[in-house]
Amino acid sequence: MSNRSIESSDHLAAISDVELRAAFRHRFSLKCGSIIDCSEDAAEEFVALLLDQGRERFAGLFLNGRNQMISSQIVSEGTLTTASIYPRELVRTALELNASAVIVGHNHPSGSLIPSALDQQVTCKLLMACESVDILFQDHIIIAGDGWYSFADHGGLALCRTSWTTGLSMAPEPSRM
């Protein structure tokens, strides 16, 4: 091993996990004003926010009318298997930021990309809360392992909107991947 390699590894050993996460987030997260054109753009931001966490976390991307990011932030932290998200807290944050659209995401520390029935129910609840105050709910993305799942891309938001307009209290579970 060269002296340069040894120096480099000594330097890395001195850096804390918190510092590494902060550096990763700074380097790979989107900047305010970045345009979110598709679920992949949002997923990349959620990876920077949520990956390698030992517990579930729920985050929001808050967008203006041109789909430019105003802010991305963690809105809830949970346990190994669940993260509670309160619709009114998400709506309150969106209103405070003067956001016209929201994309939410959470991680599955288990590594499973398959959304649960509860994930679908929460998605519908958040969609209804946001859209009842004219904030467009664009997507809910799950980050797990080396991939991501988009409710919008897989028809989950359409299920919510159909259920809402037909008066059903709960949307059916989305098809499995």
Of 130, 108, 118, whose CA–CA distance to 62 is shortest?
A: 130
Give the per-residue pLDDT at 168: 53
Look up residue 102 and give its two tokens.
Answer: 């929201």
Q: Between 169 and 42, where is the model more confident?
A: 42
| pLDDT tens digits, 122-152 | 999 999 999 999 999 999 999 998 899 999 9
Give the per-residue pLDDT at 176: 39
Average pLDDT over residues 160-166: 78
Q: Given this structure, which CATH class describes domain 32-166?
A: alpha beta
| pLDDT tens digits, 106-130 | 999 989 999 999 999 999 999 999 9
CATH 3.40.140.10 domain residues, the chain: 32-166
How far is residue 73's CA from residue 90's CA, in Å, rounded to a whole number? 11
Average pLDDT, the chain: 82
Residue 8 has pLDDT above 70, yes or no: no
Q: Do the Cβ atoms of 44 and 30 come closer than 8 Å?
A: yes
3-state secondary structure the chain: CCHHHHHHHHHHHCCCHHHHHHHHHHHHCCCCCCECCCHHHHHHHHHHHHCCCCCCEEEEEEECCCCEEEEEEEEEECCCCCCCCCHHHHHHHHHHCCCCEEEEEEECCCCCCCCCHHHHHHHHHHHHHHHCCCCEEEEEEEEECCEEEECCCCCHHHHHHHHHHHCCCCCCCCCCC
Question: Percent of the chain scored above 90 by pLDDT?
Answer: 59
Bridge partners, 142 (sequence order): 106, 149
C-alpha distances in Å from residue 95, one per residue of 36, 70, 92, 111, 130: 19, 12, 5, 33, 10
Q: N- to C-terminal Cα distance for the chain?
A: 45
| pLDDT tens digits, 37-69 | 999 999 999 998 887 668 899 999 999 999 999
